[in-house]
Amino acid sequence: MIARLTAAALMILWPLAGIAQTNIALGGLNADPTEAVEITADQLTVDQDSRSATFAGNVIIGQGELRIAAGNVRVVYDDASGQIAQLMATGGVTLVTATEAAEAQSAEYDLTTGLLTMTGDVLLTQGASALSADRMVVNLTANTAQMDGRVRTVFQQGNN
């Protein structure tokens, strides 16, 4: 009996064991990279030579409905336009929208491409469901994401 249960469990779980990458649709994780970016922090250091600025301590970034919180954020400006081109967040990063939240050790947001890459112990929650991985790349323009590296999921079904 135990051998049959074990065999049945292995047959059910075997296809999931090899999955190291998954694509997910993100219902509320969308942002317009052309919207204004608001940043607040405890400290700001500007480097004119590298066309960058570093925000430190309790950094909060807002762009439309998207909110990002981190310990430190380095902002790189586009040479031609002077607009923000990239945001690189470290020190524990939290991303929140109306319907989803994500956490990671670090994140890079490229406003020119609309790509947000989160790395290091990524945890994404969508309602009662949760996904975790080593890395998540979100295309905010297409409203999709891909998770890589030991992807783990908990999907709540029905009214759970």
Sequence spans of domains, the chain? 21-154
Full pLDDT tens readout for the chain, 160 residues: 333 332 333 333 333 333 344 445 554 455 566 788 899 999 999 999 999 999 999 999 888 888 889 999 999 999 888 888 999 999 999 988 888 899 999 999 898 898 989 999 999 988 888 899 999 998 878 888 899 998 988 776 665 4
Helices (H), the chain: 2-17
- pLDDT tens digit string along 78-90? 988 888 899 999 9
Buried b (16+ CB within 10 A) or exposed e, 80-94: eeeebbbbbbbebbb
Spatial distance between the Cα atoms of 13 and 9, rounded to a whole number of angstroms: 6
Contact call for residues 121 and 132 (beta carbons, < 8 A): yes
Query: What is d(CA 13, CA 146) in angstroms, rounded to the nearest whole number?
Result: 21
CATH number of 21-154: 2.60.450.10
- Which pairing describes strands 106-110 and 84-96: parallel, antiparallel, or unpaired? antiparallel
